C-alpha cells in the first residue's frame, strides 16, 4: 500500500514539477558526460596537459554536488509545504511520522532513479558531442560509436547518492518534529517578511552597500596588483560581495514597495497595482532565496564570460608564441639548412623567410612606454622583412612613410602606445615619428621581439648589430607537436643553453595543441559550472511561479469576472513573470561584468578591449538564451494553469 501511494505521488510530482525534474536530469547528465570524458583513455592520450582535466573536473564536481544538493533540498522542502494538508491528513488517519518519512523517501528514490536513468541515456549523447568537439578541436578523426563507462556510471551514482542522502536526512528530521496542526493549517498561515522595521531596512541597506563596495574594491586591488593576490584575499573579496548581495535583496522588497506602491499616481495606471502588489508580497517572503539565486546568477555570468576570455587568451597566446607554421631562431644561420630540409621532406614548404633581428643599441622605447621586460635593448626589423611577414601571414599590406616607423606589439602595449601619442624615436642620429601601431599575432614571445618590435626603414638598419636571426616557414601541411619534438632533439641535445646552435624553436602545431588543451581544461570546467548554476537558479524561479499559479488562480478569476479579457490577463502574467525573472538579474549582470574586467587585467597582454567586449557579449548571450527558455516555460505553464 505504501509503495502504491508513493508511486502515485511520485508520478504526480513528476507532472507538477517537471521543470525541476528536467533540471536535475540535465545536471546528472552533465555529471555523467564529464565523468566519461575524465575516464576516456582516448581523450587523455591527445595531449599531456589533458591529464590535468581529471582533477579539475573532480574539484568542480564538489561545487556542483553542493549546488544540486541545495536545489534538491530546497525543492523537497518546497514540495512538502505545498503538500502540508495531505501529509497532515495522513497523520490524522493514524499513519505515523516514520511511515510518512519512508513514503516520502520512496517517492524521492523513484524520482531520483528516474532522473538518473534518463541521465545515463542523455549523458551518453552529450559525451558523444563533447568528444566530437574535442576531436575536431585537435583535428583528430573520430567516429561515433556505442560507449559505456562503468567507472563513470559508478562515480555519477555516488554523486547522486550523496545529493539525495543529504536532502532526505534533513527532510526526515523535519518530518519528525512537525505537528499535525502545523501541517493542516500551513496554507492558511500568513508569510512573514525577514525584516519589518524601517530602521532595520535602512541599516541593512547601508551595510549591504558597504559590503558590496568593499568586496569590489578588494577584488579590483588584488587583480590590479599581483603582489596582493592570494587565496585568502580573493576569498575575502568574494565573501564580502556575497554578503552584500544577500543584504541587498533582503532590503529590495521594502524599496520596491516604496517605489511602486508609495504616494504616486503611477500605481493606479493600467494594471500596475495588481502586478506590483503580487511582486512585492512575494519578494518580502523570498528575500533570502532571491539572494541565493542572485549569487548563483552572478557566478554563472562570471563563469560564462571568463570562459570566453580564457579561450581567447589561450588562442592568441599560442599564435603570439608561434605565428608561423614553424620557426627557428639562432645566431648561427647555418643551422637553418637542416630545419628547412626536414620540413621540405615531411610537410612541404610553401614559403620561408629569414628575418634578421636588429639591436637598436638603446632602450628608449621600452622606457618611454614604461614596460618591464627582460631585454636590455630595443629590437627592430626592416620594413621589407616586415612587409614579407605580413604577406606570408595573410595580413593587410601596409606602407611606411618617410621619417616614420611602425610599432608591432601586444594589445596591452598597443594601448599604452596609443595613450602616449607621437613617441618620437631616434636611430643613428635620424629622428623618426610613430606612424601606426599594429597588434596582430607575430611570434613576439622572444622570436621576433619581446612583446613589441620596431619596424624601421631598410636604410636605417644598415650597420646595426644582429643578435639573432629567425627562420619563418609556411608549410603545405599543418605542423604537429612531433615536429617540435624533432627540433628539440636536434637542437637541444645535452649541451648547455649558452652552447646551443639554436636558442629558440617552435611549431604552430605544438602551440595550438597546448593551447587547445588549456582551453578544454579551463573552458569546459567554467562552462560546466555555469550551466549547472543557471539551470539551478532558473529552475527554482520557474517552479516557484508555476506552483503559485493555482494559488493566484482565484485572483485572476476575479479579474475575468470583472470583464478583463484573456488576452489582457495573458499580458499581466507576462509582465509579472518578466519582473520576477528580471529582478534577480539587477545586480548580477553589472557585478559579473566587473568581475570579468578584473579577470581581464591578468589577460590584457593579449586581450584587446574589443575582444573583451565580444567575450562578455557572447557569455551574456549564452546565459540569456538558457534563461529565456526557462522564462518561456514558466510563462506557458502559468498561463495554461490560470486560464484553463
Report the range of poorest mean pLDDT among 65-74, 455-464, 587-596.
Answer: 65-74
CB 620 within 8 A of CB 589: yes
The pLDDT of residue 498 is 43
Q: Residue 46: which pLDDT band, with cuts at 50, 70 and 90? A: low
pLDDT for position 87: 73
Q: How confident is the model at residue 496 (pLDDT cuts 50, 70, 90)?
A: very low
**Between 233 and 227, where is the model more confident?**
233
- Which segments within 281-411 are labelled E, that is strand? 326-330, 349-359, 379-382, 404-409
Is residue 471 very low, low, confident or very high in pLDDT (cuts 50, 70, 90)? very high
Grade residue 350 by pLDDT with cuts at 50, 70 and 90.
Answer: very high
Residue 457's pLDDT is what? 93
pLDDT at 194: 53
Given a cut of 60, is residue 495 above it in pLDDT? Answer: no
Could you read off the pLDDT of 384-419 as tens digits, one per residue?
999 999 999 999 999 998 889 999 988 888 888 888
Which pLDDT score, from 0 to 100, does residue 497 have?
Answer: 41
Q: Does pLDDT of 616 surpass 80?
A: yes
Average pLDDT, integer, range 439-444: 87
d(CA 18, CA 9): 13
* Helix/strand/coil for 505: strand
Select the more confidently predicted residue: 415 or 497. 415
pLDDT in tens, 92-119: 777 776 777 777 778 778 888 888 888 8
> Would you say the pTM of this structure is higher than 0.85?
no
Which 3 state secondary structure label does DSSP give 327? strand
Helix (H, G, I), strand (E, B) or coil at 356: strand
Do the Cβ atoms of 473 and 325 come closer than 8 Å?
A: yes
Average pLDDT over residues 492-506: 59
- Please say if the pLDDT value at position 576 is more than 60: yes
Q: How does residue 382 score in pLDDT terms, banded at 50, 70 and 90?
A: very high
Identify the three-state secondary structure at position 435. strand
Among 267, 436, 260, 474, smallest CA distance to 355 is for: 474
In 3D space, the residue among 117, 120, 147 whose CA is nearest the CA of residue 132 turns out to be 147
**CA quadruple 443, 449, 453, 456: dihedral, nearest 10:** -110
Q: How long, in residues, is the chain?
A: 644
Nearby residues of 554 by Cβ (< 8 Å), 6 or more positions away: none
DSSP code of residue 450: B
Residue 568, number of CB atoms within 10 A of its CB: 14
Q: Which residues make Cβ contacts (< 8 Å) with residue 138, sequence separation at least 6?
A: 46, 47, 513, 516
Greatest Cα pair distance, the chain, in angstroms, is 103
Lowest mean pLDDT, pick from 11-15, 160-164, 328-332, 457-461 = 11-15
By percentage, how much of the chain surpasses pLDDT 90? Answer: 10
Nearest to 599 by CA among 586, 612, 618: 612
Residue 11 or 584, more confident = 584
Alpha-carbon dihedral 176, 181, 185, 190, rounded to 10 degrees: -80
User: How far out from the chain centre does Cα 502 lie?
Assistant: 40
Task: Provide the edge-to-edge strand list for the sheet that holds 379-382.
Answer: 425-427, 430-438, 404-409, 452-456, 379-382, 349-359, 465-475, 326-330, 504-507
Asked whether the CA dihedral 381, 385, 387, 392 is positive or negative, the reply is negative
Nearest one of 295, 356, 297 to 329, comparing CA atoms: 356
Amino acid at each position: 500500500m505504501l509503495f502504491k501511494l508513493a508511486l502515485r505521488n511520485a508520478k504526480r510530482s513528476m507532472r507538477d514539477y517537471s521543470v525541476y525534474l528536467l533540471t536535475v536530469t540535465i545536471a546528472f547528465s552533465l555529471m555523467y558526460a564529464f565523468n566519461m570524458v575524465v575516464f576516456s583513455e582516448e581523450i587523455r592520450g591527445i595531449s599531456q596537459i589533458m591529464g590535468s582535466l581529471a582533477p579539475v573536473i573532480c574539484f568542480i564536481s564538489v561545487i556542483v554536488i553542493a549546488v544540486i544538493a541545495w536545489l534538491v533540498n530546497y525543492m523537497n522542502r518546497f514540495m512538502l509545504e505545498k503538500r502540508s494538508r495531505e501529509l497532515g491528513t495522513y497523520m490524522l488517519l493514524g499513519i505515523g511520522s516514520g511511515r510518512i518519512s519512508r513514503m516520502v523517501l520512496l517517492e524521492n528514490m523513484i524520482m531520483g532513479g528516474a532522473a538518473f536513468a534518463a541521465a545515463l541515456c542523455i549523458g551518453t549523447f552529450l559525451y558523444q558531442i563533447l568528444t566530437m568537439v574535442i576531436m575536431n578541436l585537435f583535428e583528430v578523426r573520430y567516429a561515433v560509436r556505442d560507449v559505456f563507462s562503468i567507472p563513470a556510471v559508478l562515480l555519477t551514482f555516488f554523486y547522486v547518492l550523496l545529493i539525495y542522502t543529504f536532502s532526505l536526512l534533513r527532510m526526515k528530521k523535519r518530518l519528525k518534529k512537525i505537528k499535525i496542526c502545523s501541517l493542516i493549517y500551513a496554507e492558511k498561515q500568513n508569510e512573514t517578511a525577514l525584516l519589518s522595521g524601517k530602521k532595520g531596512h535602512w541599516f541593512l541597506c547601508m551595510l549591504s552597500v558597504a559590503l558590496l563596495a568593499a568586496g569590489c574594491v578588494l577584488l579590483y586591488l588584488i587583480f590590479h596588483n599581483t603582489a596582493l593576490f592570494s587565496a585568502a584575499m580573493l576569498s575575502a573579496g568574494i565573501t564580502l560581495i556575497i554578503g552584500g548581495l544577500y543584504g541587498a535583496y533582503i532590503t529590495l522588497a521594502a524599496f520596491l514597495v516604496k517605489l511602486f506602491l508609495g504616494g504616486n499616481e503611477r500605481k493606479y495606471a493600467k494594471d500596475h497595482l495588481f502586478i506590483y502588489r503580487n511582486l512585492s508580497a512575494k519578494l518580502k517572503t523570498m528575500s533570502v532565496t532571491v539572494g541565493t539565486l542572485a549569487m548563483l546568477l552572478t557566478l554563472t555570468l562570471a563563469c560564462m564570460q571568463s570562459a570566453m576570455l580564457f579561450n581567447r587568451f589561450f588562442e592568441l597566446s599560442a599564435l603570439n608564441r608561434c605565428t608561423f607554421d614553424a620557426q627557428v631562431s639562432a645566431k648561427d644561420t647555418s643551422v637553418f639548412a637542416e630545419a628547412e630540409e626536414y620540413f621540405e621532406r615531411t610537410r612541404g614548404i610553401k614559403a620561408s623567410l629569414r628575418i634578421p633581428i636588429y639591436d637598436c643599441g638603446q632602450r628608449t622605447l621600452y622606457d618611454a612606454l614604461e614596460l618591464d621586460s627582460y631585454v636590455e635593448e630595443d629590437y627592430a626589423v626592416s620594413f621589407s622583412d616586415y612587409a614579407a611577414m605580413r604577406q606570408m601571414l595573410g595580413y593587410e599590406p601596409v606602407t611606411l612613410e618617410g621619417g616614420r616607423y611602425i610599432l608591432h606589439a601586444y594589445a596591452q602595449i598597443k594601448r599604452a602606445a596609443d595613450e602616449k601619442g607621437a613617441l618620437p624615436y631616434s636611430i643613428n642620429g635620424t629622428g623618426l615619428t610613430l606612424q601606426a601601431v599594429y597588434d596582430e599575432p607575430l611570434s613576439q614571445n622572444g622570436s621576433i621581439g619581446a612583446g613589441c618590435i620596431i619596424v624601421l626603414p631598410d636604410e636605417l638598419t644598415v650597420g646595426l648589430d644582429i643578435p639573432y636571426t629567425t627562420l619563418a616557414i609556411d608549410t603545405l601541411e599543418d605542423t604537429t607537436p612531433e615536429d617540435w619534438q624533432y627540433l628539440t632533439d636536434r637542437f637541444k641535445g645535452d649541451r648547455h643553453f649558452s652552447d646551443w646552435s639554436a636558442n629558440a624553436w617552435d611549431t604552430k602545431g605544438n602551440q595550438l595543441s597546448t593551447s587547445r588543451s588549456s582551453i578544454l581544461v579551463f573552458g569546459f570546467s567554467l562552462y560546466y559550472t555555469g550551466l549547472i548554476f543557471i539551470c539551478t537558479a532558473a529552475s527554482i524561479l520557474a517552479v516557484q511561479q508555476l506552483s503559485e499559479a493555482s494559488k493566484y488562480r482565484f485572483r485572476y478569476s476575479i479579474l475575468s469576472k470583472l470583464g478583463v479579457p484573456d488576452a489582457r490577463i495573458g499580458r499581466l502574467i507576462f509582465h509579472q513573470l518578466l519582473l520576477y525573472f528580471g529582478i534577480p538579474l539587477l545586480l548580477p549582470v553589472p557585478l559579473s561584468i566587473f568581475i570579468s574586467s578584473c579577470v581581464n587585467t591578468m589577460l590584457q597582454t593579449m586581450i584587446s578591449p574589443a575582444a573583451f567586449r565580444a567575450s562578455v557579449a557572447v557569455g551574456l548571450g549564452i546565459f540569456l538564451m538558457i534563461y529565456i527558455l526557462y522564462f518561456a516555460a514558466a510563462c506557458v505553464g502559468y498561463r495554461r494553469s490560470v486560464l484553463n
